[in-house]
Amino acid sequence: MDIQHRRLAANDAVHHYAVAGAGPPLILLHGFPQTWRAWSRVAELLAGEFRIVMPDLRGLGGSPGPASGYDKHSLAGDVRAIARAEFGATPAIVCGHDVGGYVGFAYALSHRDATAALLLVEAAPPGTSQLDHQMTNPRSWQIAFHANADVAHLLIGGRERAYIDFVIRSRIFDAGAIGAAEVDRYAEAYSAPGALRAALEMYRSLALDRQLNLAALAEDGRLTMPVTAVGGAPAATETGLREMVAEIATDGRAELVRDTGYWIAEEQPAALAQIIRNAARARV
């Protein structure tokens, strides 16, 4: 697979993204504590079918991000600038994991005509009952911890590799799916000037994200393009996924992936690639 790396100046920041393949537009958005590389295996499987764009979220592409603009609607604006540069006005399938799913949801809310379909992978967006519950659930401790960005930065800074390795290992099913070399690359990215702060600001903004999302849903209604919620069993259930997606979409679907932890794109790339193909067919 031939991967091209590009940079785009937009919205007071410089954004890095990777491009591969040919065909209908597909945007893949990573979460924490990863970069565009999380999608490498899925992209390898889909490069013959889609033109794939894999952005690094603001502040994580080697160029320090600005002090503000980490709410998900601002990040969605970054992604929209990249999409316009690569696809013009052609609608894209948008697939996001973790925080990338939050950005993907904001993208679909703000740019409905530019979103052919949306996939949320292990991502209950701000404003849904499921994330409201997770915010107060001790098992989801990392959300509140990261949202207290100053304390989190104090405790993680200088220990990025150890922390990233812990986060990944604590939520993985196939321990060999993400190796030491991949953790090294993520740690290098998050150790760059301003990168860890940028990532934590994405969590600090969750309360604002909730307000913005609920306001958009109240004004324009639920999303009408196909929206698929993807989760790894047994942590996720089909019932839970369906209930979550019904809050935000009129055409909601649920997909469970077996034998995986949180990192579905690396642990079960073939299964996730097929789910993306199914979403592409659903919107035709």
| Per-residue b or e along 75-111, where b marks 16 or more CB atoms closer than 10 Å to that residue's CB | bbbbbbbbbeebbeeebbbbbbbbbbbbbbbbbbbbb
Per-residue pLDDT, averaged over 192-207, amounts to 97
Q: Is 25 helix (H, G, I), strand (E, B) or coil?
A: strand
Given this model, what pLDDT does residue 283 score? 64
Other CB atoms within a 10 A radius of the CB of residue 193 amount to: 10
Which residues constitute the domain of residue 211? 3-282
- Rounded CA separation 44/41 (Å): 5
Phi, psi of 41, deg, nearest 5 = -70, -40
Percent of the chain at pLDDT > 70 equals: 99
Q: Work out the pLDDT band at 182, boundaries 50, 70, 90.
A: very high
Given this model, what pLDDT does residue 72 score? 98
Q: Judge whether residue 282 has pLDDT over 60.
A: yes
| Per-residue b or e along 122-148, where b marks 16 or more CB atoms closer than 10 Å to that residue's CB | bbbbbbbebbeebeeeeeeebebebbe
Q: Are 199 and 225 in contact (CB under 8 A)?
A: no
> Burial level of 219, CB count in 10 A (0-12/13-18/19+)?
exposed
CATH code of residue 192:
3.40.50.1820
Q: Mean pLDDT over all residues of the chain? A: 96
For residue 33, say if its preceding peptide bond is cis, omega within 30 degrees of 0. yes
Q: Work out the pLDDT band at 284, boundaries 50, 70, 90.
A: low
Phi, psi of 9, deg, nearest 5 = -90, 120
Condensed to tens digits (0 to 9), the pLDDT of residues 36-52 reads 999 999 999 999 999 99
Q: Which residues make Cβ contacts (< 8 Å) with residue 93, sequence separation at least 6?
A: 24, 25, 26, 27, 50, 115, 116, 117, 118, 119, 276, 279, 280, 283
| Number of domains within the chain | 1
Q: Judge whether residue 121 has pLDDT over 60.
A: yes
In the structure encoding, which two tokens stand for residue 174, read together? 């196939």
* Run of H or E including 231: strand 227-232
* Run of H or E including 186: helix 180-191
